[in-house]
Amino acid sequence: MHSLAVLDYAIIGGYLAVSLVMGVLMTRKASAGLDHYFLGGRSLPWYLLGVAGMANWFDLTGTMIITSFLYLLGPRGLFIEFRGGAVLVLAFLLAFTGKWHRRSGCMTAAEWMTYRFGAGRAAAGVRLLTAVVNILIAVMMLAYLIRGASLFLGLFFPWPPLYTTLALITVTTLYTMSAGFYGVVLTDLVQGVIVMASCAIIGLLAWQRVPDSASLAALAAQVTGNQDWTSSRPAWHTPMPAGYAAYSPMIMMMLFYLARNVLGGFGTGAEPRYFGARSDRDCGLQSLLQGVMVMFRWPLMIGFAVMGLYLVHALYPDPAVVQRAAALIHAQYPQVTAGSWHDLTSALVNFPAEHPAGLIRDLQALLGPDWAAKLPLVGWAGTVNPEQILPAVLLNLVPTGLKGLLVVAMFAAMMSCKNGMVNAASGFFVKDLYQNFLRPRAATRELIIASYASTLAIVAVAFWFGVAAASINNLWSWLVMSLTSGQLAPQALRLYWWRCNAWGVIGGTVLGAVGAVLQRAFYPQLPETSQFLLMTAISFLGTIAGSLLTAPTPLAVVKNFYRTTRPFGWWGPLRDEFQGAARAAMDRENRQDLATVPFALLWQVTLFLLPMQLVIKSYDSFWCTLPLFLVGVAGLYHFWWRPLWAREP
């Protein structure tokens, strides 16, 4: 079954070809040195870095996950995505953590560890460990992106999703290898324009389809069972379908996710776009631009969710049919797993002759002559698969030509995020493992070749993990609430506690990473809240115990860090490093930075809510949210914007 028209395929093919050509053209500039390959020569303007940051958050897989929650919950799905999709850590990057890391002059988070802890054996060990753990996290994040891409591509191309995904990943990998960070930023700019246009198109299409908020609420209640779909207020309890019951206590989950983001936000900033910024001010401005541009993602996703409600209602007026269709497939293929379900349904649609004729006849009799359009929405649990809402809407409700453009926009979102992650992970390998430990005298050409090899290896391993994942939400929840939560303590304490040393970071990092891997292997169904509490607790225990049981970092090293970074926190023995006017200026800046965070969080959350409320024509909610947004803007202006221009010429 060919899901797209020839024009749509031509648009997609042309886009991929242009991307490869751009990568080849950028090869010479990217190969000038490691600073050029991984940080763009530290000369890129803040608005290009801001666009790159937006693209790093605006990924295809995350867009599909958030769309699934908005389809189930309406605008309140935003509060579930406090766990990561709402990018609340931007408030901390904007206020202080981005500029703190830029002040180090480092290239990677692992190199930064040497700046913080010195050059001893423990510092070398923590640099090595940081590189390894960050590569592991990057591999799993890429696996998550690849899994989402396979779910998406399976609806649009008449070939097995595995091979289609492999082809797309190959093209994007070749581009990243050749162009480096220059190519990442350049294509992020082009792809950002495409994505922004797509956001406006889908948001407008959905707004035109909604007669009024009350009618939409009635339809949503019939399709999803959610009686408060158009509400923007989180509830203590909301009904959820099979596989999503853990999110029913919405307010409790929201508070857990908020706590995780606040704790994580205090340790953020060790990213190429901040290491490569030209000034402290550029760090703040690019963060602000990231927040404004990511806002466009929310009308796009609520637009897909709204159109998904109308599509599911048209395809499945009787929801029981979905359960019966899933039962037919389970009866014929009793060993099918949740991870391989999508590949099986895609094969049934595209290659029906290769499957039992009786099953195909039963599906046709149950679903009707358009069974091939309906089947991809049937989930493994016997309910509509919300993770398929976005591609299903694109396939069924968007006209030819525009459909190709929007598929390209989704490709662009996936490529931008994936390319940035691969570039950063390759930087860890080349700068912190290969050059620092294996070949300290390696020439630039050798290091660039090593980056090519590491890029291929990282993508290959991520691809293997990605195609084996049960669902993108399952993989994302483990990444956010277990694997990265196990790194929160060492990432935060290194910035705020003078006694935190390299052995402490090693202890917290190892316990957090090993604990997360063991949990995934032996207790994969552990609730997200338990994952977060357990991994955070053991990482704090390891970091604090390891620091107190070993010798402190040499005072000269800590003094250099304190004088250049100028952080707040527990720095008792070092507070005398600044006296008089210098101490007053530092304290004033730190107070303003801390006061910025709550206003930035309020501004960001309301900024995301407002356009969603407009799309679903919930105007009463819009006028209630707008004053809160203005309070956030006023606080940002007073505590952040005015001091931003006063501190730096």
- Which residues have a Cβ under 8 Å from the Cβ of 258 and sit 6 or more positions away? 82, 88
pLDDT value at position 34?
45
Which of 317, 315, 298 minimizes the C-alpha distance to 388?
315
Counted residue by residue, the chain has a size of: 649
Phi-psi map region of 41: left, alpha, beta (phi>0 left; psi -120 to 50 alpha): left
Give the Cα separation of 190 and 21 in Å (integer). Answer: 14
Rg (CA), the chain: 25
| Phi/psi at 87 (5° precision) | 45, 50
Question: How far is 310 from 315, CA to CA, in rounded Å?
Answer: 9
Backbone angles phi, psi at 109, to 5 degrees: -65, -30
Residue 639 is given by DSSP the state I
Residue carrying the six token digits 């509830």: 235
| Residue pLDDT, tens place only, 109-134 | 778 888 999 888 888 888 888 788 77
pLDDT at position 641 is: 94
CA–CA gap between residue 324 and residue 608 (Å, rounded): 38
Tokens at 314, concatenated: 């048209």
Q: What number of other Cβ atoms are within 10 A of residue 580's Cβ?
A: 7
Tell me what pLDDT residue 31 has.
Answer: 45
Contact residues for 644 (Cβ-Cβ < 8 A; gap 6+): 281, 284, 285
Picking from 265, 248, 266, 339, the residue whose alpha carbon sits closest to that of residue 529 is 248
* Tokens matching residue 381: 């649990």
Q: Contact at 8 Å (CB) between 593 and 95?
A: yes
Instruction: Please give the Cα distance from 132 to 268 (Å, whole number).
Output: 18
> What pLDDT is attached to residue 38?
43
Question: How far is CA 146 from its chain centroid?
Answer: 13
pLDDT confidence of residue 418: 64
Query: Which residue ranges in the chain fall short of pLDDT 70?
Result: 1-3, 19-20, 22-43, 55-56, 151, 154-155, 172, 175-192, 242-243, 339, 412-420, 423, 466-476, 647-649
Indicate the DSSP class of residue 570.
B
> What is the Cα–Cα distance from 30 to 449, expressed in whole angstroms?
12
Burial of 558 by CB count in 10 Å (0-12 exposed, 13-18 middle, 19+ buried)? buried
Collapse the DSSP code of 603 into the 3-class scheme (helix H, G, I; strand E, B; otherwise coil) and give the result.
helix
Give, in order, the Cα–Cα distances in Å from 399 to each of 197, 376, 402, 510, 559.
16, 19, 6, 51, 62
What residue has token string 């039963």?
Answer: 362
Domain ranges of the chain: 1-234+249-316+384-439, 317-383, 481-577
Q: How far is CA 201 from the centre of its chain?
A: 23
> Which residues on adjacent β-strands are paired with residue 384?
378
What's the pLDDT score for residue 625?
Answer: 96
CA distance linking residue 609 with residue 295, whole number of Å: 9
Q: Between the CA of residue 384 and those of 230, 317, 360, 409, what are the distances in Å?
A: 20, 12, 19, 25
Pairwise CA distance, residues 376 & 389, whole Å = 10
Instruction: Count CA atoms within 13 Å of residue 244 on its CB side.
Output: 28
> What's the rounded Cα separation, in Å, for the pair 392 and 32?
44
List Cα–Cα distances, 136 to 131, 428, 479, 513, in angstroms. 9, 11, 11, 9
Q: Rounded to an integer, what distance in angstroms lies between the CA atom of residue 606 and that of residue 632?
A: 8
DSSP line for 210-252: -S-HHHHHHHHHHHH--TTTT--S--S-----TT-GGGSSHHH
Please classify residue 320 by burial: count the beta carbons closer than 10 Å to its beta carbon, then call 0-12 exposed, 13-18 middle and 19+ buried: exposed
Q: What 8-state DSSP symbol labels residue 638?
A: I
Alpha-carbon distances of 108 from 3, 114, 269, 499, rounded to whole Å? 43, 10, 11, 23
Model pTM score: 0.81
Q: How far is CA 100 from CA 509, 590, 600, 606, in A?
A: 21, 11, 18, 27
CA distance 82 to 69: 12
- For residue 568, the model assigns a pLDDT of 94
Residue 68's alpha-carbon distances to 50, 99, 268, 467, 612, in angstroms, are: 27, 35, 27, 20, 15
State the angle between helix axes of 580-615 and 619-636 in degrees (0 to 180), rounded to the nearest 10.
170
Q: Who's near 356: CB < 8 A, 6+ residues apart?
A: 332
The CATH code of the domain at 1-234+249-316+384-439 is 1.20.1740
